[in-house]
Amino acid sequence: MPSGPAGGGRGAIVLNGLWRTALQCALLSMAPVVELRGALPWAIAHGLPAWLSYLLCVFCNMIPVPFILLFIKKILEWMKTRARLAKYALWLEDHAQKKLDVYYKYKLLGLFILVAIPLPGTGAWTGALVASLLGVERKQAMLMILLGVAAAGAIVLAVSLGAVAVFG
Which tens digits make up the pLDDT trace of 44-96? 999 999 999 999 999 999 999 999 999 999 999 999 999 999 999 999 888 88
Q: Is the sign of the CA dihedral 146, 148, 151, 152 positive or negative?
A: negative
Amino acid making up residue 122: T
Mean pLDDT computed over 22-50 = 95
- What does the buried/exposed string (b/e) look like for 142-167 if buried means 16 or more CB atoms within 10 Å of the residue's CB? bebbbbbbbbbbebbbeebeeeeeee
Q: Write down the mean pLDDT value for the chain.
A: 88
What's residue 3's pLDDT? 47
Structural contact between residues 143 and 131, judged by C-beta atoms closer than 8 angstroms? no
Report the candidate in 167, 152, 168, 165 with the shortest Cα–Cα distance to residue 39: 152
Residue 103: other Cβ atoms inside 10 A: 23
What's residue 106's pLDDT? 79
- Whole-Å CA distances, 2 to 14, 19, 20, 80, 104: 12, 20, 20, 51, 61
3-state class (DSSP) for residue 4:
coil
pLDDT per residue over 98-143, tens digit each?
877 777 777 899 999 999 999 888 999 999 999 998 899 999 999 9
Q: Lowest-pLDDT range, 5-14, 24-33, 34-43?
A: 5-14
What's residue 14's pLDDT? 56
What's residue 120's pLDDT? 84
3-state class (DSSP) for residue 74:
helix
What's residue 15's pLDDT? 61
3-state class (DSSP) for residue 99:
helix
pLDDT per residue over 137-162, tens digit each?
999 999 999 999 999 999 999 999 99
